[in-house]
Amino acid sequence: MTTSSYSPPAGEPWPEAAHYPPPEVPRPDPVRPDPAPLFPEQPLPPAGPKGFATWPDRLRTLPARAWRGRADDPRWVRPALLALLAATAVLYLWGLSASGWANSFYSAAVQAGSQSWKAFFFGSSDAANFITVDKPPASLWPMALSARIFGLSSWSVLAPQALMGAATVGVLYATVRRRFSPLGGLLAGAALALTPVAALMFRFNNPDALLVLLLTLAAYGMVRAVEAAGTRWLVFTGVMFGLAFLTKTLAAFLVLPAFAVIYLVVAPTGLWRRVRQTLLAGAALLVSGGWWVAVVELMPASARPYIGGSQDNSFLSLTFGYNGLGRVDGNERGSVGGGARMPAGVDLPGGAAPGGGRGWGQTGLTRMFGTDIGGQIAWLLPAALILLLAGLWATRRYGRADTARAAFLVWGGWLLSTALVFSFMSGIFHQYYTVALAPAVAALVGMGVDGLWRARHRVPWALVLAGTLAVTAVWAFVLLGRSSGFLPWLRWAVLAGGLLAAAALAAGPFVGRVSGRAGARIASVAGLVGLAAALGGPAAYAVDTVDSPHTGSIVTAGPGVKGGSGPGGMGHRGGKGFPGGTGNGNGHWFGQGGPGAPGGQGAFAGGQGGQGGQGGQQGFAPGQGFPGGGTGNGGDRANGRHERGTGGGTGLPGTQDPEGTGTDGTNSPGGTAGGPPPGGMGGLLDGPKVTDEVAAMLKQNADHYTWAAAAIGSQTAAGYQLATGEPVMALGGFNGTDPSLTLAGFQKYVQEGKVHWFIGAGGSRRGFGGGAGGEGGQQSESAQIESWVTAHFTAKTIGSTTFYDLTAPTS
């Protein structure tokens, strides 16, 4: 018999519903019956009629059913759920346009998809279909459709993500509610909505928003499939995984092995039927995720855009290399971390990583709790782990097919498999990746609290509940202490409230034996105070995240943290420091930075960056900029030519890696002092700010050309494309290093009059586009094109950027 957890009689409001103890229900196959199980079995709501003939009636009654909810739910449940969804939507939509184009890399692809159906299908960076983004296109499709319907704007690009966030909260509630009480489902939904990294990514245009929604739908399908060994729900789960693959390739499969094993073990049917159903679900995954891949791989390369991020124009190599196994082992050809041509001893972007992160932070079991990651996701992570163990222990004697234990296995498998991969992967790792953990953490908290709250009158479980709350409060105190300037009173309020509530819950069983009514009131007040203490920290971080604009390729939630090791979001109060750690400390990236720890790698701070230590102590020598030229001041403020150069100067010396490519040429040209910044890390991480004068120049006679301009790197090209509305060729893809076009191919385009302008990369971008090549190194294709253009065409400088008219060769 499939089951659902106990609910009090309809109309009974919370918290008085807690007065009703769970009834004694026989187990389907008890070994040693538990007189008061944490998760008592109750029949699931009856299944409605199936078939196409029933759809008109189901649609007609949908508004009433949506408002009323399940017949066995108290009347307060559905209004509470609708209020939660509405509050989530408001939170995620509030001030959404403040982030502008957010990640201009994807916004430019959305613009292209709103202009060209071919660009829409392939996920091209430009409407002329020169190159794609370095991900499959599924996450771009909702945004491109929104732009086609409502016109291209920041709101039309970002609003679909916010709505996906509200939808994810609703799906999570429905998944938890299948087996647990409404209280557990609502708590899980609220915990997800207030997770800081969720508040960040559901307001941003990276693929992660759609990925999390699809994986949550897959978990819902898995829970439904396990209830009665339902084939159609297992096939639904496979389809969700396939669509998730088309969103972010192998990142979608981190939880797939755990789900497959769980179904094969616990589904209430025969072994061979379980095997056949799993194979059928795998076939559904292959079809739903493989059809687009088959089209791309079978189509002649000349008939489609270049596959961005790949080194051989193959989506399969992109999937299993740069976007797949390379993220785990760090062997990522063409990436910043693994494939960038950096000088010996220089890691990007987080400096040296003793734990094996190769510049992307220290790896190990504590990574998810680290300085700059803990505030993103880890607020309730200790509680989720404790409650997972408690749930598995409480259900240890249940039957193999028990749905409560299956739910803990599903969400626990999601959490552990994803967290372990994130903790030990040595390739590219950004803080916002942790949003993939948010639904699992929230679900485990909701399910665990549901059972412990019901059994709080029993001393052992009351102590577990109180201990979990105390650990959560102490951990929140630690996390809030990392942002000492952010609401300093909050950490003490959270600590005091959490510990007092924990003490009251621990004493509840003893008080209840003396006076049942007094014990119930104490438990109710303690529950409310404990809930506020547990969610107070993440809620404050989430509100701060919503209140701050975020742009660029690497963004983080919440306020700055002391000793952060990763780059912050461009435009989020100037960023949070790069490379951080002992380098920038909590200094800002490109804004007026705060103080950093002495002796850090201050030369990374571009423009008027934060104080990065004494010149070159443990960093670069005074007077040497990064990444290409410029003169630092020495002293305690390193003004290397990164955003704003102070003139020419010497770039980092070229080096030769195993592939023979150079890092940076010497004597890279410096920009004009105080000129407009070309974008994060010289255009690598954020698009440039384009003036009206430049936009007007590029748009002039643009309809006579296939591409109004060409630029090295997708972010640089995206800034100009979004400003002009015209296609801009992104040479070399995201990093400027993809072999997307040879010099001969570009010369042919110029001869045919297909490109009007070339946008000079300048010193700040050379290192990532292949530069001018160090001694013994060789130039990348993009650098060869730039060298040829600068030698043969007329230059025009506006601000700090040089443009070359490809229709006006020099004499």
According to the model, what pLDDT value does residue 53 have?
A: 66
Q: Which of 187-196, 328-337, 435-444 has the lowest mean pLDDT?
A: 328-337
Residue 321 pLDDT more than 60? yes
According to the model, what pLDDT value does residue 73 have?
A: 84
Query: What mean pLDDT do residues 393-408 have?
Result: 90
According to the model, what pLDDT value does residue 295 have?
A: 96
Mean pLDDT computed over every residue of the chain: 78
Query: What mean pLDDT do residues 316-342 have?
Result: 66
Residue 772 pLDDT more than 50? no
Cβ atoms of 173 and 188 within 8 Å: the answer is: yes
Write the burial class of residue 514 (CB in 10 Å: 0-12 exposed, 13-18 middle, 19+ buried): exposed
According to the model, what pLDDT value does residue 14 have?
A: 31
Handedness of CA 106, 112, 114, 117 (dihedral sign): negative
According to the model, what pLDDT value does residue 64 have?
A: 79
pLDDT tens per residue across span 13-41: 333 333 434 444 344 444 444 456 777 76
**Considering the chain, what percentage of its residues have pLDDT values greater than 90?**
58
pTM: 0.82
Rounded CA separation 609/607 (Å): 5
Query: What mean pLDDT do residues 700-723 have?
Result: 94
According to the model, what pLDDT value does residue 595 have?
A: 33
**Considering the chain, what percentage of its residues have pLDDT values greater than 70?**
72
- Two structure tokens written together for 450: 């549901």
Cβ atoms of 651 and 628 within 8 Å: the answer is: yes
Please name the residue that has the structure tokens 């616990």. 266
Q: Letter for the amino acid at 390?
A: A
According to the model, what pLDDT value does residue 241 have?
A: 98
The pLDDT-based confidence of 754 (bands split at 50, 70, 90) is very high
Using CA atoms, how far residue 94 sits from 115, 165, 542, in Å, is 28, 13, 12
Q: Letter for the amino acid at 198?
A: A
User: Omega before 595 cis (within 30°)?
Assistant: no
Q: Which of 4-13, 98-107, 447-456, 535-544 has the lowest mean pLDDT?
A: 4-13
Q: Letter for the amino acid at 631?
A: T
Residue 683 pLDDT more than 70? no
Name the more confident of 133 and 349. 133
Name the more confident of 233 and 650. 233
Tally of helices (H runs) and strands (E runs) in the chain: 28, 5
According to the model, what pLDDT value does residue 592 have?
A: 30
The pLDDT-based confidence of 49 (bands split at 50, 70, 90) is low
Query: What mean pLDDT do residues 469-493 have?
Result: 95
The pLDDT-based confidence of 80 (bands split at 50, 70, 90) is very high
The pLDDT-based confidence of 330 (bands split at 50, 70, 90) is low
DSSP 730: E
Residue 430 pLDDT more than 50? yes
Query: What mean pLDDT do residues 770-798 have?
Result: 75
Residue 62 pLDDT more than 60? yes
781: Cβ contacts below 8 Å, ≥ 6 apart: 731, 732, 739, 740, 741, 742, 743, 770
- Segment holding 306, helix H or strand E: none
User: Omega before 142 cis (within 30°)?
Assistant: no
According to the model, what pLDDT value does residue 510 have?
A: 80
Cβ atoms of 332 and 326 within 8 Å: the answer is: yes
According to the model, what pLDDT value does residue 761 have?
A: 72
pLDDT tens per residue across span 564-579: 644 333 333 433 333 3
Rounded CA separation 729/135 (Å): 18
The pLDDT-based confidence of 633 (bands split at 50, 70, 90) is very low
Handedness of CA 354, 359, 362, 363 (dihedral sign): negative
The closest alpha carbon to 234, from 208, 209, 269, belongs to 269
Residue 385 pLDDT more than 80? yes
Query: What mean pLDDT do residues 613-642 have?
Result: 32
Residue 640 pLDDT more than 50? no
Residue 764 pLDDT more than 50? no
According to the model, what pLDDT value does residue 85 have?
A: 97
Residue 600 pLDDT more than 70? no
Q: Which range scores top for mean pLDDT: 17-26, 200-209, 418-427?
A: 200-209
Residue 404 pLDDT more than 60? yes
According to the model, what pLDDT value does residue 770 have?
A: 40
Query: What mean pLDDT do residues 706-711 have?
Result: 96
Rounded CA separation 241/256 (Å): 8
